[in-house]
């Protein structure tokens, strides 16, 4: 309604305008002469209501003349128009939110540089607001179309951040704009997050009804310093507020760690030492609480994954990591075949200090039969594990991980994990963008972009094959352990485990004179002894608590895991 009133006022004050001229308010359009593109945001309903009948010209930054008069304006339709010099342009109207980013400084990885943000959408107008803006991502920064992180600020000096609500999402100062450049139809990240949030809610949702298990996203179109950039995903960041983790109140409550890089702790293949003076550890970045850094609990859990005896690990795992989340993420990871999200591109969070950990996915661009760089990955017959899942996959007890995973898989296959349900999402999202002419404009802005509707059929074929393979895999009987571990158990036993003052190592493989070593997470030998006839006793009071390997040498080296408390 405010647009209609504004147009009526402008028209009434512009007697020189012809009856066939459409007048558009300044804050609603972009004219990108380099692309020969004119784009008007805010939809067309108000324009058609005010300007009824044949429309021969449109007044934006200058007059543009339609090749042929049009009776009705429609979103997504490409109109050929000529500017006052006779140069041809392509004119579109869009109902997608249209965002302008403006800055007079070069945008870098960090820090954020000052700029301004404004947005128009049907029925919604955000006046220019001060922001800080920086590049986002690692590999994404090498691509022509950049992703951005923005923070709303009270003024251009950037001294104070302010919260802003956008497109029905949360009110916050911090937002991401994902370029989606390596996604052929610009859909995978958004649809992956939506699927995850449909199938999984935070285990503490009853206590924190505003908590979300992922990030909401909205497709928008972006203009940077007057140049059209194409379609983006505006999204909420994964942080304490999104997950509703407990506030810091003098003791550390909720925790949030970001697996930013492939590293030994992120992989959970070793337990490097940590330093609470550092915001990084083994591939993780510390996110919350900001008031104090404490890696101890995550360090302990990684150590248990690496070193704990299988029986002990299966017992303590539900106390360390929420089983329902572990099950859902394993199924989600494998249904999408998100190779790059096995350990990296996730967050590990805790609602409060004594609560179990849980996974939160992020950066879901390498999914649905595409790799992280956008290339086709047609593989459908592998099951993805990280080190944690390699440990709990052998839990075949009646209430263990594999039993719960099978039951949950069968449940999701009823309605959520079906080709029809997933492809309905793809088609609906694709049609919403196509109806607005987005793919035509992407081709104008990025010459490397090719619009291929065959991508939908390819995705459907991939899903059919992927789901069929996983049905077979989950239907197979669970085995309690692999052959290698059975053989090690037969030839080498370590007890008590956990141990506090001494540990006994015995077995058929422990011949007289064999060297027995206790090795820490960095591969350092902290204790050595020599075996008698099939047996060695090691005194350990001087060894710090933690997780170790007991190792014997010989023709075939054998190791067993040991916890010292």
| Predicted local distance difference test score (pLDDT) of residue 9 | 40
**Cα 196 to Cα 180: distance, rounded to the nearest angstrom:** 18
Mark out the alpha helices in 260-355 (DSSP H runs): 264-267, 296-307, 310-320, 323-336
Model confidence over 134-172: pLDDT tens digits? 999 888 899 999 999 999 999 988 779 999 999 999 999
Once rounded to an integer, what is the mean pLDDT over residues 182-209?
97
pLDDT at 465 over 70: yes
Closest CA to 129 of 111, 167, 156, 104: 156
The model carries a pTM of: 0.84
pLDDT of residue 308: 81
Nearest to 29 by CA among 120, 130, 101, 116: 120
Rounded Cα distance between 290 and 419, Å, is 42
Q: Confidence class of residue 311 from pLDDT cuts 50, 70 and 90?
A: confident
Q: What is the pLDDT of residue 309?
A: 77
Q: Which residues contact 472 (CB under 8 A, 6 or more apart)?
A: none
Q: Say what the pLDDT of residue 6 is.
A: 47
For the segment 62-105, what is each residue's pLDDT rounded down to a tens digit?
Answer: 999 999 999 999 999 999 999 999 999 999 999 999 999 999 99
Q: What number is the average pLDDT over the span 493-510?
A: 84
Burial class (CB in 10 A: 0-12, 13-18, 19+), 10: middle
* Half-sphere exposure of residue 217: CA atoms within 13 angstroms, side-chain side: 29
Residue 257 pLDDT more than 70? Answer: yes
pLDDT value of residue 512: 66
Average pLDDT over residues 391-420: 95
Q: Band of the pLDDT at 437, cuts 50, 70, 90? A: very high
Q: What's the maximum distance between 2 C-alpha atoms anywhere in the chain?
A: 108
pLDDT above 90 covers a percentage of the chain that reads 71
Local structure of residue 355 (DSSP, 8 states)? S
Q: What is the DSSP letter of 153?
A: B
pLDDT of residue 381: 94
Distance of alpha carbon 41 from alpha carbon 26, whole angstroms = 11
Q: What does the pLDDT look like over 26-41, one tens digit per residue?
A: 889 999 999 999 999 9
pLDDT at 478: 83
Question: What integer pLDDT is reported at residue 563 of this predicted model?
Answer: 85
What is the CATH T-level fold of the domain 483-564, as seen in this structure?
Immunoglobulin-like (2.60.40)
Mean pLDDT of the chain, nearest integer: 90
Exposed, middle or buried: residue 453 (CB in 10 Å: 0-12, 13-18, 19+)?
exposed
Task: Give the pLDDT band (50/70/90) at residue 522.
Answer: low
Q: Residue 11 has what pLDDT?
A: 44
CA distances from 392 to 43, 322, 423, 479 (A): 52, 12, 32, 11
Residues 330, 332, 337, 340, Cα dihedral to 10°: -70
Tens digit of each residue's pLDDT (9 = 90 or more) over 96-131: 999 999 999 999 999 999 999 999 999 888 999 999
User: Is the predicted pLDDT of residue 23 greater than 50, yes or no?
Assistant: yes
Mean pLDDT of all residues in 217-238: 98
Asked if the model's pLDDT at residue 555 lies above 60, the reply is no
Residues of 253-287 as b/e, b for ≥16 C-beta within 10 angstroms?
bbbbbbbbeebbbbbbbbbeebeeeeebbbbbebb
Q: 276-291, pLDDT tens digit by residue?
A: 999 999 999 999 998 8
Region 189-193: mean pLDDT is 97
């Amino acid at each position: 309604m405010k647009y209609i009133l504004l147009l009526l006022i402008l028209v009434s004050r512009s007697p020189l305008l012809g009856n066939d001229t459409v007048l558009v308010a300044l804050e609603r359009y972009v004219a990108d002469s380099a692309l020969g593109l004119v784009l008007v945001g805010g939809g067309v309903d108000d324009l058609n209501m005010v300007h009824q009948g044949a429309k021969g010209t449109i007044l934006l930054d200058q007059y543009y003349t339609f090749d042929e008069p049009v009776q009705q304006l429609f979103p997504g339709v490409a109109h050929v128009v000529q500017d006052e010099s006779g140069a041809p342009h392509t004119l579109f109207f869009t109902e997608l939110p249209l965002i302008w980013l403006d800055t007079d400084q070069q945008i870098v990885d960090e820090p954020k540089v000052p700029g301004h943000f404004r947005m128009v959408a049907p029925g919604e107008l955000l006046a220019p607001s001060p922001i800080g803006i920086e590049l986002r991502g690692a590999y994404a920064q090498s691509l022509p179309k950049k992703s951005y992180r923005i923070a709303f600020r009270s003024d251009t000096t950037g001294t104070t951040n302010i919260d802003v609500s956008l497109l029905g999402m949360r009110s916050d100062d911090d937002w991401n704009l994902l370029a989606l450049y390596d996604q052929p139809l610009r859909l995978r990240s958004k649809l992956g997050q939506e699927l995850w949030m449909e199938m999984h809610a935070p285990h503490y949702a009853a206590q924190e009804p505003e908590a979300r298990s992922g990030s909401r996203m909205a497709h928008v179109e972006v203009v940077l310093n007057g140049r059209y950039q194409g379609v983006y995903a505006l999204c909420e960041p994964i942080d304490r507020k999104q997950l509703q983790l407990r506030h810091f109140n003098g003791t550390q409550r909720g925790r949030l760690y970001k697996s930013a890089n492939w590293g030994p702790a992120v992989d959970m293949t070793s337990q490097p030492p940590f330093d609470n003076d550092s915001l990084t550890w083994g591939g993780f970045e510390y996110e919350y609480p900001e008031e104090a850094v404490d890696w101890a609990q995550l360090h302990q859990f990684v150590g248990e994954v690496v070193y704990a005896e299988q029986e002990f690990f299966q017992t303590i795992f539900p106390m360390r990591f929420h089983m329902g989340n572990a099950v859902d993420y394993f199924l989600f990871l494998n249904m999408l075949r998100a190779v790059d999200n096995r350990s990296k591109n996730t967050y590990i969070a805790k609602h409060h200090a004594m609560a179990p950990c849980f996974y939160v996915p992020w950066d879901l661009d390498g999914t649905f039969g595409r790799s992280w760089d956008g290339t086709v990955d047609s593989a459908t017959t592998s099951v993805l594990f990280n080190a944690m899942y390699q440990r709990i996959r052998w839990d075949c007890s009646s209430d263990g991980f594999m039993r719960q995973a099978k039951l949950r898989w069968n449940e999701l296959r009823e309605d959520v994990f079906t080709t029809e349900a997933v492809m309905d999402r793809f088609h609906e999202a694709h049609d919403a963008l196509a109806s607005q002419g987005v793919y035509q404009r992407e081709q104008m802005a990025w010459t490397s972009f090719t619009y291929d509707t065959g991508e939908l059929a390819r995705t459907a074929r991939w899903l059919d094959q992927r789901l069929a393979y996983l049905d077979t895999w989950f239907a197979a009987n669970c085995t309690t352990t692999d052959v290698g571990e059975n053989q090690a158990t037969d030839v080498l036993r370590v007890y008590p485990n956990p141990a506090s003052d001494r540990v006994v190592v015995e077995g058929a493989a422990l011949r007289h004179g064999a060297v027995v070593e206790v090795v820490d997470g960095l591969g350092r030998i902290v204790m050595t002894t020599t075996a008698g006839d099939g047996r060695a006793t090691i005194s350990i009071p001087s060894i710090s608590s933690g997780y170790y390997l007991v190792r014997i040498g010989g023709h075939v080296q054998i190791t067993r895991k040991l916890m010292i408390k």
